[in-house]
A and B are shown apart, each in its own frame.
Chain A
Amino acid sequence: MALTGVAVAGMPHVGRFVWAQNAVSPSDVIAGKIEPMIIHNDQTGVLETPLELLREDRITPKDRLYIRNNQILEPEGRTIESVEDPGWVVQIDGLVQYTKAVQLADLADMENSEVEMVLQCSGNGRSFYAQAIQTRGTQWQHGGMGNVVFGGVPLRTLFESFDPELGVHANAKFLTVQGADSPTGTASDFEHSVPLDYALEHAMLATHMNGEPIPGAHGGPVRFVIPGYYGTMNVKWVNRIRFDAVETNNYNQIPRYREPIEPIEPGTDFTFTFDNSIPNWNQKVKSVIFGPLAGESLSTGQVEVRGVAWNDGMTGIEAVQVSTDGGTSWTNAEIETPDSPYAWYHWSATVSLDSGEQTIISRAIDKKGRAQPLDGTIDWNPSGYSWNGADHVTVEVA
C-alpha cells in the first residue's frame, strides 16, 4: 500500500523524504545546541549528548547539555537563551494555613546558594534494556545526563522567609511541583510529588545554571532543583508548589516515571500502584566509561580507562572497579572525590589489553554497599527507567 504516492519518476524511494525531514541540526530543534548532539525528538526537543562531546567538560556547558521536553513549546522554551520574566510567579498552596505567591524578582533578594550535581534523565541508558526486551520511550544511550551547577534559593530559606509563616499542616508529607508547560487538548498538566522532608533539606528554586540565568529550554526562569533525584523531578518552568498528604495521582507520577519495587521478568505486564512501585526519585549508583569509547581501535598493552561515577549523594562513592575478563577479576580505579556529593566522581584505571576484540567493564560501589549489577537487565521495567548496569565498552585491540 502507500507506496503508490511516491513511486513516481524522479523519486527513487520514500526514504529520501524521510531523510530530508530528519536532516536537521540540533540548533533547529533547540536554538543554540551544537553538533553532534543526537536528535531523538525534533518537535518537543529531545537531544542527547554523545560521550565524545560530554567527556570534554567537567561542567557541562548549556550548548551541549542533554534536553528532554515533554511538550511542544513556544520559541522561548526552545532556546538556550535565558528568559526575561521578572514578574514570573510561583504559587505556594495546599496543606498550609496561608498560601503565598513568590515573584521571581523576590528570589534575587534572598540568600542564594549553589549546588554542583548530576542532572540525569531517568530514561538514560534505556536502549540497553533491549538486550532483554525493548522498553518504551526515548532510546537513550549514556548521554542523557550532564554535570551542572544550579544556583537559587533553598526551599527552606524561602519558606522561612514568609511572614506570617506558611503554617504547614502536620499531615503534609509531599511537595507536588507543577510546571507551566501544558499539553494540548484535555491532558493533565505536568507535575511531580517529592517527599517533603527531603525537599526541605535539599531542594531549591533555581534561577541560575552554570552561573547564568537558566536557559528557556532548561526550565528558565525558575526551575525546581532537587539534587540526587532524577532529572524529571527537577520540574521546569515551575509555577506552583503544593503541600500534599499523599503523592499526586497525576499520570506523570503514576504510572509514568515509576518502576516496580521487586524485580520482574523482562517482558512482564505490570500494573503500577503506589504500593508496588517507586517514583524516579533517588538516582542509582552508576559509572560510565568516558574513554576508551566503544569501537575505538587500540594497541596492545597498558590502556588508561577513565570515566565518571555518581549516586544519589546520600553517601560517597566507595570504589570504581574495572574488569577486562568479563567480571572475573577487577582493578580498583583511582577516584577523585568532588566537593559536592551530587557531582561526578572522575576516576581512572590502567589495565592491560591483549589483541582482539576486548570488552572493558566498569562498576561503581558506594559507601552503603550499593553496587551496579553486572547485568543491568535484572532491573528491567516496562518503561526502561533508571538503567544502572555495569558499563560495557567493546574495543578493537591490535
Chain B
Amino acid sequence: MQSISRVALGLIAALLLGLPALAQEGPGGLPAGPGADLVFAKCQSCHSLQYVKDSAGLPLFLWEDTVDEMIRNGLELTEEEYEIVIEYLGTYMGPNPPEPAAVADAADTEAAEGAGAADSEAPAEADGAAVYAANCASCHQGEGQGVPGVFPPLAGHTAQLAVAEGGRDYLVHVLLYGVRGEIEVQGTTYDGVMPAWAHLSDAQLAAVLNHLIALDGDGADVEEFTPDSIAEHRGEGLSAQDVLEARPDVNGSN
C-alpha cells in the first residue's frame, strides 16, 4: 500500500513541478479543462487546492457528495456554477481523466466568458463586478466587506492602498503573485493566504481593481488601472512572502 501512496505523491509532485507529461495545467496546477478557473476561484475560500488535487481519482458521485458537503459547509454556487464544477471534477479529476491532447481540444472550443474563464479570447472590456462576483466574493463577500479576522475587507481598503506610496504596485502584485502572512486591515489582524490570480487576463484584473476602488466613495480620485498597468508586472517571479514584505503601511492613515 505504501507503494501506491508513493505513486500518488509522485503524481502530485509531477503536477506541482509541471513535468512535460502533465503540461496541460490550469490555474494553481489544476488539470486544464472547462471549469478549472471556477474550481480555483471557489475552493480556496476554505482550503488549499492541494486538497482537491489529493482527491484526484474520485468517481463522479463522490465528487457530487463532496461538493454537496462543501455547500453545507458554506460554499455558495449558482446552479450553473454547480453543473460546471461537477462536470470538471468528474471529468478531469475523475478515475479516467482525458489525455492532455484531448484537453487542449476542449479548451480551444470552450466559449470565452467575461466573468470566469481566462483564456486568450477573454474580451478586452471586462466587467469588474462580474469578475469580482465569480472569483473574489466567496471569500471577501458580496460588497467587499470581508469576514472579520478571516478574510480582510476590500471596500475602502483597496482605495486606501491605491493612494499609498507603492500601493498601486502592491495591489497588482497581490493579484498576480498572491500574498501570505500577517497583515492588519482597519484595525483587525489577518493571517491567511490569498492565492495568485495570474491566470485571469490583464483586462479582468484591471477591471476588478477599478471595481473595488469604486466600491469606496472616496475612490473617485484614484487613477484607473489599465490592462497595461497589470501587464508590466507580469514575469517578476515574486513569492507571496515577497509581496507581503513590500506591503505599504496604511494603518496609521486610517
Contacts and interface: CB of A to CB of B under 8 A. Distances in A.
Q: Are A and B a genuine interacting pair, yes or no? A: yes
B235 A9 contact: yes
A22 B234 CA distance: 20
A20 B239 contact: yes
A382 B62 contact: yes
A251 interface: yes
A25 to B, nearest CB: 11
9 contacts: A1-B120, A2-B26, A11-B237, A15-B18, A17-B28, A18-B16, A21-B240, A40-B54, A295-B6
Nearest to B5: A127
Contact of A4 (B5, B73, B118, B189): B118
B16 A17 contact: no
Interface in B159-175: none
A5 B200 contact: yes
A359 to B, nearest CB: 9
B87 to A, nearest CB: 15
Interface stretch (B128-136, B190-198, B214-222): B190-198
B150 A72 contact: yes
B18 A135 contact: no
B27 to A, nearest CB: 5
Contacts of B149: 74-75
Contact of A72 (B51, B178, B181, B192): B192
A42 interface: yes
Interface centre among A5, A10, A269, A389 (most CB of B within 10 A): A5
A55 interface: no
A2 B58 contact: no
Contacts of A72: 46, 150, 192
Given A41-B47, A394-B2, A1 B36 contact: yes
Interface in B219-240: 234-237, 239-240
A2 B2 contact: no
A131 B147 CA distance: 40
Contacts of A124: none
Interface stretch (A179-187, A196-204, A297-305): A179-187
Interface string A55-95: 00000000000000011101100100000000000000000
Given A5-B198, A8-B235, A134-B62, 15 more contacts: A1-B36, A2-B27, A3-B25, A4-B201, A5-B199, A18-B28, A19-B17, A28-B180, A41-B48, A75-B189, A136-B63, A136-B66, A141-B5, A255-B65, A393-B2
**Highest count of chain B CB atoms <10 Å: which of A14, A19, A42:** A14
B74 A134 contact: no
Interface in B35-75: 36-37, 44-51, 54-59, 61-63, 65-66, 69, 72-75
B150 A74 contact: yes
Contact of B54 (A4, A8, A70, A139): A139
A3 B200 contact: no
B18 to A, nearest CB: 4
Nearest to A10: B235
B226 to A, nearest CB: 16
Contacts of A4: 118-120, 199, 201
A134 B57 contact: yes
Interface in A287-316: 294-295
B59 A133 contact: yes
Given A21-B240, A22-B48, A185-B76, A136 B65 contact: yes
- The CB with the most chain B CB atoms within 10 A, among A12, A17, A136, is that of A17
A169 interface: no
A294 B25 CA distance: 31
B64 to A, nearest CB: 9
Instruction: Tell me the interface secondary structure of chain A in the complex.
Output: loop
B180 A24 contact: yes
A394 B15 CA distance: 26
Nearest to A377: B1
A188 B6 CA distance: 37
A295 B73 contact: no
B212 interface: no
Nearest to A252: B72
Contacts of A44: 46-47
A22 B16 contact: yes
B134 to A, nearest CB: 14
A322 to B, nearest CB: 16
Contacts of B4: 128, 130-131
A130 B57 contact: yes
A266 B22 CA distance: 28
B47 A1 contact: no
B208 interface: no
B213 interface: no
B62 A78 contact: no
A297 to B, nearest CB: 14
Contact of B51 (A135, A138, A184, A256): A138
A8 B149 CA distance: 35
Nearest to A43: B47
Contacts of B189: 75
Contacts of A74: 149-150
B118 A267 contact: no
Contact of B193 (A13, A21, A184, A393): A21
B62 A135 contact: yes
Contact of A127 (B8, B51, B118, B177): B8
B3 interface: yes
B124 interface: no
A131 B1 contact: yes
A270 to B, nearest CB: 9
A6 interface: yes
A23 B17 CA distance: 12
